[in-house]
Amino acid sequence: MRVNAHAAPAAGEPLTPTTIERRAVGANDVLIEIEYAGICHSDIHTVRGEWGPRPFPLVPGHEVVGIVREVGAGVTTHRVGERVGVGVLVNSCGRCTSCLRGDEQYCLEGTVEAYASTDRDGTTTQGGYSTHVVVDAGYVLHVPDGIEPSTVAPLLCAGITTYSPLRHWGAGPGKQVAVVGLGGLGHMAVKLAHAMGAEVTVLSQSLKKQEDGLRLGADAYFATSDPDTFTQLAGRFDLIVNTVSASIDVDAYLSLLAVDGALVNVGAPPEPLSVNAMTLIGRRRTFAGSSIGGIRETQEMLDFCAEHGLGADVEVIAAETVNEAYERVLASDVRYRFVIDASTLR
Ligand code: NAP
Ligand code: ZN
């Protein structure tokens, strides 16, 4: 099946309209007509070549919401007409200890991601900036009724990537949680941590978005450009989720952790980060990382969002403005996720 898409022809080049081939619907596959696809900063790192060489032309997009148009003969979990979501994970081995535990994102044989991955049939995956996609049913999520679909798309990456560490490190009542960077991931981290009952502080470069941060559910908001912030908040937090797409001064943020606190990096800057062991040792602090979340946990997150009335704050755009949207993300001028209306690709 030949479908319309937006692709980067080569690393660092602007995205342009193209067509790509989607595989025939296999016995365990679902054909999805895409309604919306979110723009994640990972798409930008990837197409700019910041994470190393990738196969081009490359169609980014791993925050997809759409309607099931066809299911394979062996699919019992999804039906035609149903609204579904697809995130980063589109396949994994299903047999290793990570997969068996439901942590497919840590598949020991390597996960297959929505784009720029070699699928288990040897083809290269192409992402969601497209009109249709074919995905193994085991990686297709059910979208609960009652959430506006454009606001659901970003949950498939930004939502689960922040939900998973918040749960893993026990965000909840009585916990002090800080979120570094108020972009796509950051604004979901604020909403989710607040809904989990934690006390939430935003650490942003400036106070420009303070009003938004408080509206999203933060209890406090500080500018990291003000050195006073680091003295005032020293030793305060149980958990800090760092969503910044660039490298940060890790020791400065570690110093904000209480005894046994954890700084969890979900931001994935291309440059290495450095840590002074003493900052960790002095208060038994942890410096950790976390990758998206497993399929079961992603469904749990979607259900949690439906229950709490949460979606992303989105700006819906036409596909032809995707390059401008990238520039605005790079300038930290996103409020708080760009979402492509896939009908503009038809
Ligand atoms: P985003 O919307 O661009 O948000 C990043 C935020 O970081 C910005 O809004 C800005 O917030 C802050 N920031 C940007 N540049 C900065 C700098 N030089 N210094 C300090 N702060 C800066 O990006 P996103 O889509 O949320 O993604 C964030 C990062 O997470 C990316 O690196 C992405 O690849 C990664 N990611 C990882 C996973 C995973 O599984 N671990 C999943 C998805 C994305 P303020 O304006 O508030 O300062
Ligand atoms: Zn993403």
Q: Are residues 191 and 275 in the same domain?
A: yes
What separation in Å is there between the alpha carbon of 159 and the centre of ligand 1?
13
| Pocket lining: 181 vs ligand 1, CB cutoff 6 Å | yes
Q: Are residues 126 and 213 in the same domain?
A: no
**pLDDT digit string (tens) for 161-190?**
999 999 999 999 999 999 999 999 999 999
Residue 224: predicted pLDDT: 98
| Pocket lining: 328 vs ligand 1, CB cutoff 6 Å | no
**pLDDT digit string (tens) for 244-281?**
999 999 999 999 999 999 999 999 999 999 999 999 99
Q: Tell me, what CATH number does 68's domain have?
A: 3.90.180.10
Mutate to test the pocket of ligand 1, among 113, 157, 245 (most ligand atoms within 8 A of CB): 245
Q: How many CB atoms lie within 10 A of CB 147?
A: 19
Q: Are residues 259 and 199 in the same domain?
A: yes
What separation in Å is there between the alpha carbon of 187 and the centre of ligand 2?
14
Of 246, 265, 289, which one is at a domain's C-terminal end?
Answer: 289
Q: Are residues 236 and 333 in the same domain?
A: no
Residue 39: predicted pLDDT: 98
Q: Are residues 218 and 102 in the same domain?
A: no
What separation in Å is there between the alpha carbon of 86 and the centre of ligand 1?
21
- As a whole number, mean pLDDT of residues 102-131 equals 96
Residue 121: predicted pLDDT: 85
AA letter at 267: G
Gap between the terminal Cα atoms of the chain = 14
Tell me the pLDDT band of 27, cut-offs 50, 70 and 90.
very high
- Collapsing DSSP to helix, strand or coil, 109 comes out as coil
Of 252, 272, 289, which one is at a domain's C-terminal end?
Answer: 289
Q: Are residues 166 and 308 in the same domain?
A: no
Of 251, 274, 289, which one is at a domain's C-terminal end?
Answer: 289
Q: How many CB atoms lie within 10 A of CB 306?
A: 17
Looking at the CA of residue 266, tell me the nearest atom of ligand 1.
Answer: 41
Q: Tell me, what CATH number does 254's domain have?
A: 3.40.50.720
Q: 135: domain range?
A: 2-157+293-345
What separation in Å is there between the alpha carbon of 97 and the centre of ligand 2?
24
118: DSSP letter: B
**pLDDT digit string (tens) for 210-245?**
999 999 999 999 999 999 999 999 999 999 999 999
The residue whose CA has the least distance to atom 35 of ligand 1 is 267
Q: Are residues 337 and 193 in the same domain?
A: no
Q: Percent of the chain at pLDDT above 90?
A: 99
Residue 44: predicted pLDDT: 98
Nearest to 176 by CA among 200, 196, 192, 194: 200
- As a whole number, mean pLDDT of residues 290-315 equals 98
Q: Are residues 128 and 68 in the same domain?
A: yes
- Collapsing DSSP to helix, strand or coil, 237 comes out as strand
| Pocket lining: 204 vs ligand 1, CB cutoff 6 Å | yes
Q: Which ligand is closest in space to the CA of residue 314?
A: 1
Residue 120: predicted pLDDT: 80
Dmax (CA) for the chain in angstroms is: 62
Q: Are residues 185 and 267 in the same domain?
A: yes
Q: Is the pLDDT of residue 66 over 90?
A: yes
- Collapsing DSSP to helix, strand or coil, 215 comes out as helix
Q: Which ligand is closest in space to the CA of residue 64?
A: 2
Q: Are residues 307 and 274 in the same domain?
A: no
- As a whole number, mean pLDDT of residues 70-84 equals 98
pLDDT mean across residues, the chain: 98
Q: Taking the C-alpha atoms of 268, 54, 155 and 112 in order, what is their torsion angle to the nearest 10 degrees? A: -110
Q: Are residues 18 and 96 in the same domain?
A: yes
Q: Which ligand is closest in space to the CA of residue 221?
A: 1
What separation in Å is there between the alpha carbon of 227 and the centre of ligand 2?
31
State how far the Cα of 130 lies from the Cα of 139, in Å rounded to an integer. Answer: 18
Q: Are residues 216 and 299 in the same domain?
A: no
Q: How many CB atoms lie within 10 A of CB 25?
A: 18
Q: Tally the domains of the chain.
A: 2
Beta strand spans in the chain (E): 2-7, 16-21, 29-38, 64-71, 83-86, 89-91, 112-113, 132-136, 141-142, 176-180, 199-204, 220-223, 237-242, 257-265, 286-289, 314-317, 337-341
